[in-house]
Structure 1
Amino acid sequence: MRNTADLDLTTDAGILSYLVTTLPADFPRAVEVTRLSGGHANFVWRVKFAGTMEDGKNTAIVKHAEPFLADDRDVLLGTIRMKYEYEIYTLFANRSPLLPYLPEDGPIHVPKIFHYDPATPVLLVQDIGVHLDLKTFFSTHKPSDDEAVAMGRALGTFLVDFHSKAADTESKAKLMEPFENEQARMIIQAAVHDRVGTILAGVNSLSADTLQAATESAKAFGAELMESRETLIMGDFWPGNIIVESDATGRYLGKLWIVDWEVCRYGLRAMDVGQFSAEAYLLSHFRNPVARSMLTAFHRAYVTGFLKGKPEGLRRTFMRQVSVQFGSHIVAWAEFAGWTKDQQKLEEILKVAATYIENATEQDNWESGELAELADFLHSTDN
């Protein structure tokens, strides 16, 4: 095996040379790489091989991590992040009983691992094809209401199963240490909850009381996220990390691929639920109202799987946590992600978010606002 220290793995030539000289002898020869857009943290390419991989295709996706962001070298980030993605993909590939079983003919999938080199680090994974992520799919296509419901149901069912399996005693004993991922905890707290007060301070129409209450609530929840080891969470469960398999006409083919698991860790399940809820709400509000049907189906599936027959105290705690994460995520990303360039609309959505953070313990707020369906489902699973 060649010493790769002299290769610049951030370049096309460097990564191709690495693949040619370093992959195991039973792999087909890499002949071409094409840099892919959208990789913020890592350098990502589609690699073409002279022969077929084990999935029958002659292409795969290669990811390389440097100790900084691929799209901003001034931002430092430990390369250990790639280890967590490798670990979770391996567990799924081995059909670990600690995680949900994902049948080949089912609606939810994760890519298969072909090769991992922790020293570089380089990860070679299955190429799932050229498809749109869920956010882009709803922004540029017109899925039917039935398709939106099917997607939401599949995602909610998967997520509650994933959380529930990883929360049991056996799973925690085996998975908690490998998925501690302290780096991810610190990143999320700094990028989301610690920024809420600064961002809301720029909303002129927000009262001083709401600003203070929302800031304190978000910071407290950020600290709660740092301490909690409730269950294994995906950690970045948003439509941009969910790929929609569709045909040439844009018709949904019944398969969703969940990718980019680098911030997977033990934490609060409400983090995943709140983040997806916020993104799906923004998608329905600014891009495509049909996304609301997806969100409703997601809530119904998740709540039914998690809270049916559970005590009222657990329901209220869960709703409080989801509400704060819902609002905090919107505050942190609404402007940065470019949901609207209209300053008035931006301020309106930030005020909605601030209200959810401030009043997360108020049941009346749940039942009349953007999370009304979730509140309804909480009450409909008493038995």
Structure 2
Amino acid sequence: MAPTPSELTTTEGVQAYIANTPFASHTVTSLSGGTGNFAYRIHLSAPFEGQETLVLKHAEPYIKNLVSFAFSLKRQTFEYEAMTRIKEWLPADSLVTVPTIYHFDRELHVLIMEDCGPSGVPTLKDFLCKSEPSILQNLADKIGASLGRFLGEMHTWSRTDPRGLLGLFAGNTQALHISAWVTHGRTVQTLTEDLPPALADPPIEVSAADLDVLRKAANEMSAAITAARDVFVMGDFWPGNIMVKLDAEQNLERLYILDWELAKPGVPGVEIGQFCAEVDLVRRFVPSTKDAVKKVLETFLHAYAQECGANVKMARDALIHWGTHMVVFTPRVAWGDKQTTRQVVKDGVQIIVSAAGASKQDLRESLVGPLFSQ
């Protein structure tokens, strides 16, 4: 008897599901990364297309780590469509790519795909935080430029609405609302009524005038995110969703972009801001990475603008989202000590306030200045 969806939340259920298929495995192990789905590494009994391991993702109608949060199963269809279309669009030898999908079970909500992370392949977040300084310094320019070029090319490509791309992903309405709520929907409450522990003792101080600016910016950005229809975005473009594969000589071989459940029409500046904020947090909490991370950010922004151009609205949106991400996520993720966390949140507030009314010249002199350097 075939497993029921709920049985695929266990390694035993997964092993039963793939028995008597080309993906039959002698060992199934749970993967700790990600919060939305159940993910496993399957160790194949016989190689499949030359690979000894694959990754299986199974979706339930909730977030894996937060069962009370209903999460539409349609997300997996959107992920399949996004990854399949991006794979078709990209050149086969593209440095930045997505895993190949080998099987999609629409009924039991299962994806089986290329394993991009065996043998200690790190996420970009871990690579930035933990790599040997010399290796990181040598690869910083290439990583930043490659990712900026990919994102810019993808945004530009999507504006032509290839094969009804934008209309299809406009149906991912839950992703639109999640992206608005999880950041801009929580900006003010993070600083006032819903203080995370790092900000609560003593309560962090933010002036009433700054809170008014933050509230207005948050409302405008939330509305823009939910109304966006012109550009396809990955939806969760941050270093934790990027795998860094090096060759034997420690040269950059491939960058894999994972987890496309939140793909949708979106605001380009939000995508830029999320990536930059997370990379910025590395240098703020791991000072030894400062020079290399600066290179990553500068080359990322410069390469993106070379592909897409830059304008005041895009840059302002990116900077506001950069600051918002710092405010909302820094005190909720274990980055470092309380004092540094509070200072980063305060810096995030000032980034938002300065960005809200920034002129083009102000933006040129800001963190997003490299957008205007092409």
Same fold (TM over 0.5): yes
2: CA distance between counterparts of 1:318 and 1:345? 29
2: CA distance between counterparts of 1:349 and 1:365? 21
Identity over aligned pairs, percent? 28
Q: Which has the higher helix share?
A: 2
Aligned with 2:63 (options 54, 66, 69): 69
Is residue 87 from structure 1 mapped to residue 76 from structure 2 by the alignment?
no
2: CA distance between counterparts of 1:13 and 1:377? 50
* Secondary structure class of the residue paired with 1:271: helix
The residue number in structure 1 matching 2:109 is 121
The residue number in structure 1 matching 2:302 is 300
* Secondary structure class of the residue paired with 1:244: strand
- Structure 2 portions without partners, runs of 5+: 196-202
The residue number in structure 1 matching 2:312 is 316
Aligned with 1:167 (options 155, 159, 168): 159
1: CA distance between counterparts of 2:81 and 2:370? 37
Superposition RMSD in Å = 2.0
Amino acid paired to 2:293: A
- Paired positions, count: 355
1: CA distance between counterparts of 2:206 and 2:6? 53
The residue number in structure 2 matching 1:19 is 18
Is residue 197 from structure 1 mapped to residue 194 from structure 2 by the alignment?
no
- Structure 1 portions without partners, runs of 5+: 308-313
User: Residues 79-132 of structure 1, C-alpha deviation per residue, up to 9 Å, x if partnerless?
Assistant: 211111111222234x2xxx4x2333x321210011000111011001122311
Give the drift of 1:365: 4.7
Amino acid paired to 2:329: W
Is residue 102 from structure 1 mapped to residue 91 from structure 2 by the alignment?
yes
Matches within 5 A, 1:166-185: 166-168=158-160, 170-171=161-162, 174-180=164-170, 181-185=172-176
Matches within 5 A, 1:1-383: 2-5=1-4, 8-20=7-19, 23=21, 27-54=22-49, 56-93=50-87, 95=88, 99=89, 101-104=90-93, 106-128=94-116, 129-130=118-119, 131-141=121-131, 142=133, 143-168=135-160, 170-171=161-162, 174-180=164-170, 181-201=172-192, 202=195, 204-246=204-246, 251-287=250-286, 288-289=289-290, 290-307=292-309, 315-342=311-338, 344-360=339-355, 361-363=357-359, 365-369=362-366, 371=367, 374-378=368-372, 380-381=373-374
2: CA distance between counterparts of 1:327 and 1:7? 39
* Secondary structure class of the residue paired with 1:103: coil
Give the drift of 1:368: 4.4
1: CA distance between counterparts of 2:41 and 2:17? 14
* Secondary structure class of the residue paired with 1:305: helix
Q: Which stretch has the larger CA shift, 202-211 or 275-284?
A: 202-211
2: CA distance between counterparts of 1:135 and 1:6? 32
1: CA distance between counterparts of 2:206 and 2:217? 16
* Superposition TM-score, scaled by structure 1 size: 0.87
